[in-house]
Amino acid sequence: MSERQILLAIGTRPEAIKLAPVALALQQEPWARVRVLSTSQHRHLVEPALLAFGVGVDRELDVMRTGQSLSHLCARLLTATDPVLVQERPDLVLVQGDTTTAFATALACAFHKTPVAHVEAGLRSGDRDQPFPEEHNRQLIARLASLHFSPTEGARANLLREGIDAGSVHVVGNTAIDALRIADGIASASAFAPNGGQRLVVVTAHRREHFGLRLRAVCRAVRRIAERGDVEILFPLHLNPQARDAAMQELGGCPAVRLCEPLAHPEMVAAMRACAFVMTDSGGLQEEAPALGKPVLVLRDVTERPEGVACGAAQIVGTDEERIVAAATRLLDNASAYAAMAQPRFPYGEGDAARRIVDVLRLRFAAR
C-alpha cells in the first residue's frame, strides 16, 4: 500500500493524552506518515503531554489570546489551519473529542474536501448547554467527519439516531484507557499518599457552564468535606482564570485542601491510584477512574458518559452543595456503599482502542 499522510490535530491536553496512543500505533505502520499539529489551545500543556508518551509536535500554531471569545478563537483556528492543510496535503485528519480545535479543524477540512476521522464520536448529554460549548461541537463534527470512532455501543447508537451512515461508525473503545495503561506506574502513588489515618479525595472542576455561583457551590462543598478532619483534598487547578480564581478564593487557606498546578498525566494517574474517590466535572476522569476501581462523583447535572453510571462506578451529584456533601459523606462513612462502587470496571474498553482505529484505517486505505 502506498504511503498515506495522517495529520493529528490537537489543541488541548486531554486531546494530546487521548491521541498519543493513536500516534504511537500509527507510527508502527509502514504505510502511515504521521504528522502532529498543535494549535496551542492549551498553551504550554500539549507538547509536554505528548512528550510523556514519546510523541513530538511537527507543526505549532499560536491561536490563543488573553480573554478572547469562543468566536474569536474559532475564527483564528480556521485562519491558521487553512495554510497547514494546503502545505501538508494530508490524506486524512484525525480530530478528537469536542473542543473548539476539533470543530474548527473539521470545518477547515470540509472546506478543503479533506477527509476527517473523529475519535470519541457519538457522545451526547442530551442538553445543548451542558457541557458548553462541547455538546455543540461534537454534534457539528459528526456532520463533517467521514469516519466516526465511537467509544461505546451507546455512542454509536446516538450517531445512528442522527442519521449518520452505519458503515462509517466503528466501536473501538476509548483511547483514554490506552493512555491510562501506558501511564499507570510511571509516577509513584506513594507521593500522593495522605497523612496517616486520612483519606485522599481528588477534585477537579472547570466546566464553563458552572462559572459563577455553581462553581462556588462546588468549592464550598469541598471545603466542608475537607473540614471533617479525616480527609485530604487534592485539587489541581485549571488554567482558565475563572475556574482558578473561584477555587483559590473559596479554598485558599484551608489546611486540608492542597491546591496545585495541573498535574502531568502520569502524576494524575498516580494520584487517582492513591485516592479513595474522585469528584469531578471532567470527562476524562469519568473514563479513567472506573478502570482503577475508584468511585466517581460527577459534578454535573447530566453526563455524556452514562456507561459509568450504569455500571455503578459513577454517581451524578450535580453542583448543589448539600447533595455533594451528602454523597461524599456516604462514601466516606458507609463501607458497603463504598465497596459497591470501588471495583475496577471497564465500560470504555480494555485499552486497545488505538490499535482498533489503526486496523480500520489500514483496511480503508487498502480498499482504495
Mean pLDDT of 204-232: 93
The pLDDT tens digits of the residues spanning 317-349 come to 999 999 999 999 999 999 999 999 999 999 999
- In three-state secondary structure terms, 28 is coil
- φ/ψ (deg, to 5) at 199: -115, 140
pLDDT value of position 201: 98
Of 23, 37, 93, 1, nearest in space to 358 by CA? 23
Residue 368 has pLDDT above 90, yes or no: no
According to the model, what pLDDT value does residue 324 have?
98
Percent of the chain topping pLDDT 70:
100
* Average pLDDT of the segment spanning 159-163: 98
Confidence of residue 354 (pLDDT cuts 50, 70, 90): very high
Cell of 81: 489551519
Say if residue 61's pLDDT is above 90. Answer: yes
Write out pLDDT tens, residues 84-139. Answer: 999 999 999 999 999 999 999 999 999 999 999 999 999 999 999 899 999 999 99
Residues 47-64, mean pLDDT to the nearest whole number: 92
Positions marked active-site: 98, 120, 134, 206, 208, 238
pLDDT in tens, 114-125: 999 999 999 999
pLDDT number for residue 238 = 86
Mean pLDDT value of segment 60-72: 88
Distance of CA 144 to the CA centre of its chain: 21
* Interval 286-295: pLDDT, tens: 999 999 999 9
For residue 43, the model assigns a pLDDT of: 74
Mean pLDDT of the chain: 95
Say if residue 243's pLDDT is above 90: no
Query: Are 118 and 149 a contacting pair, CB within 8 Å?
Result: yes
Model pTM greater than 0.85?
Answer: yes
Q: Once rounded to an integer, what is the mean pLDDT over residues 302-329?
A: 97
Question: Is residue 185 within 8 Å of 267, Cβ to Cβ?
Answer: no
* pLDDT at residue 66 is higher than 90: no
Q: How confident is the model over 352-366, as a mean pLDDT? A: 97
d(CA 168, CA 357): 12
Q: Is residue 313 scored above 80 in pLDDT? A: yes
Average pLDDT over residues 160-176: 98
Average of per-residue pLDDT across 267-279: 97
Question: Could you tell me what percentage of the chain is helix, strand and coil, using 3-state DSSP and rounding each to the nearest 5?
Answer: 50, 15, 35
Calpha distance 283→153 (Å, rounded): 18
Residue 65 or residue 257, greater confidence: 257
* Residue with cell string 489500514: 362
Alpha carbon of 281 to those of 169, 206, 215: distances in Å? 27, 7, 10
Q: Give the rounded percent of residues in the chain with a pLDDT score beyond 90.
A: 88
pLDDT of residue 76: 94
pLDDT band at 8 (very low <50, low <70, confident <90, very high): very high
Residue 45 banded pLDDT, cuts 50, 70, 90? confident
In the three-class reduction of DSSP (H, G, I as helix; E, B as strand; rest coil), residue 59 is classed as: strand
pLDDT of 1 above 80: no
Residue 50 has pLDDT above 90, yes or no: yes
Domains of the chain, earliest start first? 4-173+352-367 (3.40.50.2000), 190-341 (3.40.50.2000)
Residue 211, pLDDT > 90, answer: no
- How confident is residue 144, by pLDDT bands cut at 50, 70 and 90? very high
What pLDDT score does 168 carry?
Answer: 98
